[in-house]
Structure 1
Amino acid sequence: MAATPAYDEIADWYEKVFLGGDGTGKERHAGAEEEGHAGARGAGGDALGLGRVLRDLLGPGAGVCLEVGCGTGVHARTVRELGWTPFGIDLSSGMLRYARGRLPVARADAERLPIRDGALPAAIAMMVHTDMPGYATALREVARVLRPGGVFVHVGVHPCFCGGFADRSDPAAVVIHPGYVDGHWTKASWTDQGVRSRVGATHWPLPDLTRMFLDAGLTLERFAETGEPTPIVLAVQARKP
């Protein structure tokens, strides 16, 4: 478990400035779409369609739905509206200070979930995989704690169009620089108004990210992309056989 989670240092900024302190998961910084856990403000308040894609891929259900890397817990409302009982884990005590008002939480490492085998019917990870250098291990842990038939929804920044190699300063013409295939950690970002320039991000090309799901023993079922004009979000619905 990391001794000093990076998000501890920016938790107050994240909640009060980046999210605006309203708990809706909508950033107030225009153009910071791929920079954090939540969706950018826009028409309907969900320009990236995170709520929509989560509702579509998770679907209605009952029982505990684990959120891996829950941050400040802004997605708990959507999970609850679908009938699930949200429960979150995160390494950052600073972020969990805000999450506790939104869902039950525990400070825990995604690579060592404090949950018994086959205990859960559902799990989600919302815009956090670039925060987890050990995401492959985290996916194996998700597969371990899911019961057979359990669903996992991954919603993350699109590996092909977001990262230190992607210049999104012109919304109409995203420029992709060399670096996509490298797979690396970096604080490079086209904007200094978001999360990545503060805590950095780990990048995996699409084949590597996809292979992580398969190596974890999860069956890929559905996919979705959101964001315009070039996709910002890639979402995956997977299931434990």
Structure 2
Amino acid sequence: MSMAAYDEIADWYETEFLARPRAGTGDGHPLGLDVLLDDLLGEGSGTCLEIGCGTGVHADRLRALGWTPVGVDLSGGMLRHARDRLPVAQADAGRLPVRDGSLPAVVAVMVHTDMPRYPEVLREAARVLRPGGVFVHIGVHPCFCGGFADRGDLDAVVIRPGYLDGHWTKASWTDKGVRDKVGATHRPLPELLHAFLDAGLTLDQFAESGAPTPAVLAIKGAKSR
């Protein structure tokens, strides 16, 4: 995903897309993200780095849990809206401007499909975490969302060929969301989980949200003590 892709839609994303009522559709920010942050990240203290913070819409929830949110994103257009919500830096998630072993918590919320090199991002998250630190991934469900998934009828999601392909696409069941504008990188579930293990993260907890077919998969990992 290029930086310019989100720069071009940043104002629309902030003023129109985020203002819409949300359903468990897998396109954008489905309902249930706050619950997933509550359950997997939980209450804590100290700095929590949000990778791909976008316009900073999750900062308030992180503060409510006791954390001090700090965000990084590649898009200056998105960060223009985020700066009033949390301290931010413009940076590549694959090269975080953070020293080794310095953070108690890192989160990535609804961004992994925007990051073609997500395994590198996971390695960076593990690098900056202190021993025992936690990483929470919340993302569109790899099995039920993507260019292969037609969610036009939420009572009967149709899974077409393409799940195993693992490619970038702008294909989307709707032209009202984000994916038809900036595209998405898809990874099948085993490939995604192996990327966590390859980064040296221990998998601790999993959760899904969205009904009747899950739209979101959440994973909690920890850095070995």
Distance 1:106 1:187 in 2: 28
Question: Could you say which residue in structure 2 is the equivalent of 1:53?
Answer: 36
Of the three residues 165, 179, 185, the one matched with 1:196 is: 179
Question: Could you say which residue in structure 1 is the equivalent of 2:17?
Answer: 18
Residue 185 (structure 1) aligned with residue 168 (structure 2): yes
Residue 64 (structure 1) aligned with residue 63 (structure 2): no
Contact 2:24–2:209 at 8 Å: present in 1 too?
no
Distance 2:82 2:221 in 1: 26
C-alpha RMSD of the superposition: 1.3
Question: Could you say which residue in structure 1 is the equivalent of 2:220?
Answer: 237
Aligned residues: 224
Question: Could you say which residue in structure 1 is the equivalent of 2:122?
Answer: 139
Look up the SS of the partner of 1:34 in the other structure: coil
Residue 34 (structure 1) aligned with residue 26 (structure 2): yes
Contact 2:24–2:210 at 8 Å: present in 1 too?
no
- Encode CA deviations 1:115-148: one digit per residue, 9 max, x unaligned: 0000000000000000000100000000000000
Contact 1:66–1:87 at 8 Å: present in 2 too?
yes
Question: Could you say which residue in structure 2 is the equivalent of 1:97?
Answer: 80
> 4+ residue runs of structure 1 moved beyond 6 angstroms?
none
- Encode CA deviations 1:50-109: one digit per residue, 9 max, x unaligned: 000111100111100000000000000010001000000000000001110111000000
| Amino acid aligned to 2:27 | E
Look up the SS of the partner of 2:113 in the other structure: helix
Contact 1:157–1:234 at 8 Å: present in 2 too?
yes
Assess, with a 3 A threshold, how the Cα gap between structure 1 residues 31 and 225 changes in structure 2: closer, same or farther: closer
Residue 78 (structure 1) aligned with residue 61 (structure 2): yes
| Amino acid aligned to 1:197 | D
Contact 1:31–1:169 at 8 Å: present in 2 too?
no
Question: Could you say which residue in structure 2 is the equivalent of 1:227?
Answer: 210
Displacement, 1:32? Answer: 7.9
Distance 1:162 1:171 in 2: 12
Distance 1:62 1:210 in 2: 27
Distance 1:31 1:49 in 2: 9
Residue 7 (structure 1) aligned with residue 9 (structure 2): no
Q: Percent identity?
A: 69
- Encode CA deviations 1:144-176: one digit per residue, 9 max, x unaligned: 000000000000000000000000111110000
Structure having greater relative contact order (Cα 8 Å, sep ≥ 6): 2
Distance 1:148 1:69 in 2: 23
Displacement, 1:5? Answer: 3.1
- Encode CA deviations 1:11-70: one digit per residue, 9 max, x unaligned: 0000011012xxxxxx44x6683222x23xxxxxxxx21000111100111100000000
Distance 2:67 2:102 in 1: 14
Distance 1:81 1:31 in 2: 23
Structure 1 gaps of 5+ residues are 21-26, 40-47
Question: Could you say which residue in structure 2 is the equivalent of 1:45?
Answer: none
Give the TM-score normalised by the residue count of structure 1: 0.90
Structure 2 gaps of 5+ residues are none
Distance 2:130 2:124 in 1: 12
Of the three residues 161, 184, 204, the one matched with 2:144 is: 161
Contact 1:213–1:220 at 8 Å: present in 2 too?
yes
Contact 2:25–2:151 at 8 Å: present in 1 too?
no
